[in-house]
Amino acid sequence: MVQRTRDLPGTSRYVTTDGVTLHVRAVGPEDGPLAVLLHGFPEFWYGWRHQLDALAGAGYRVLIPDQRGYNLSDKPEGTSAYRVDRLVEDVVGLLDDAGAETARVVGHDWGAMVAWCLALDRPGRVERLGILNVPHPAAFGETLREDWRQGLRSWYAGFFQLPRVPERVLRAREFELLTRALTDGSRPGTFSEVDLARYRTAWGRPGALTAMLNWYRANGLRSDLFDRRGRVSVPTLVLWGARDTALVRENAARSVEYCDDADLVLFEDATHWLQHEKPEAVNGHLVEFLD
């Protein structure tokens, strides 16, 4: 399988941080203010492809890493390598490599969880925080305990805790379940066959599935992730697709309550895959907010 991305904006480079080497897609003027986009499961940097031209056109130097374990980045062994504090330090390392004290940071799914924790643990490194469809860690913990619907929707996270079996299941029939996670959970036509082929290439890289699942294994309910009740002090924008099949909408408003300065924009007809389905609207909100 060949992952052809030369038709997309930007160039690829590699950055070593916290003992791992990350593949990073870079776009926009080198002297522009820094924006870092963090993807989630089961994507890679390509998940932000619809945002590249808009942010670069607004003058930002945009860095989009394949986060550790994904696609072309290193895939260290062991679940402890994927604890959220290590993932946060990866982003800090990207900023250090770029010579930037601060950055605008935007995350989706697990990338949003890393962004939340970066703003909580290292607020001096975050100028503005953009969040797409993942709640503040404490807000999610509360919702999980209080709303049975969230427990049902999070069943797969429990399955992912098992050793080896999830890898076999997800790899079966050319990654059918991962493919369906994208296509069945989004509006029809959101992901093209070209898109899906690129994702399958990323998922098929040696060690990728285990590394991707280790994010869940390292940061499950028995970790301290969902006990992080700190408040976010940096300006925050939460964009939320209300038809998310994995996360109930109450997570969004509850997350804003943990922020000192936050706005929430709900997209009633969008799903978890918001930046794919509503790229123009998402781009408009991000460009206006990050400025």
For 230-251, the pLDDT digits (tens) are: 999 999 999 999 999 999 999 9
**pLDDT band with cut points at 50, 70 and 90 for residue 8:** confident
Instruction: Indicate whether 62 belongs to any domain.
Output: yes
Annotation says 50 is catalytic: no
Residue 2 pLDDT more than 80?
no
For residues 225-252, one letter each, b for 16 or more C-beta atoms within 10 angstroms of the residue's C-beta and e for the rest, the string is bbebeeebebbbbbbbbbbbebbbbbbb
Entry field: residues in the chain: 291
Structure-block tokens of residue 69: 């374990």
Instruction: Indicate whether 47 belongs to any domain.
Output: yes
Predicted TM-score of the model (pTM): 0.97
Q: Which of 39, 216, 276, 285 is catalytic?
A: 216
**pLDDT band with cut points at 50, 70 and 90 for residue 7:** confident
Question: Is 105 in a helix, a strand, or coil?
Answer: strand
Residue 228 pLDDT more than 50?
yes
Q: Which of 39, 136, 272, 276 is catalytic?
A: 272
Residue 4 pLDDT more than 80?
no
**pLDDT band with cut points at 50, 70 and 90 for residue 97:** very high
Convert the pLDDT of each residue in 155-180 to its tens digit. 999 999 999 999 999 999 999 999 99
Instruction: Indicate whether 258 belongs to any domain.
Output: yes
Annotation says 216 is catalytic: yes
Residues 6+ apart with CB under 8 A from 93: 15, 16, 17, 18
Neighbours of 156 (CB within 10 A): 12
Mean pLDDT across the chain: 96
| % of the chain at pLDDT higher than 70 | 98
Instruction: Indicate whether 249 belongs to any domain.
Output: yes
Question: Is 79 in a helix, a strand, or coil?
Answer: helix
pLDDT of residue 5: 64
Q: Which of 66, 109, 136, 244 is catalytic?
A: 109
Residue 185 pLDDT more than 90?
yes
Instruction: Indicate whether 3 belongs to any domain.
Output: no
Q: What is the CATH number of the domain that holds 82?
A: 3.40.50.1820
In total, how many domains does the chain have?
Answer: 1
Tell me the CB-side half-sphere exposure of residue 43, using CA atoms within 13 A: 25
Instruction: Indicate whether 2 belongs to any domain.
Output: no
**pLDDT band with cut points at 50, 70 and 90 for residue 9:** confident
Convert the pLDDT of each residue in 57-72 to its tens digit. 999 999 999 999 999 9
Residue 80 pLDDT more than 50?
yes
pLDDT of residue 207: 98
Instruction: Indicate whether 269 belongs to any domain.
Output: yes
Domain span at 188: 11-290
Instruction: Indicate whether 4 belongs to any domain.
Output: no
- Beta bridge partners, 35, equal 62, 104
Annotation says 291 is catalytic: no
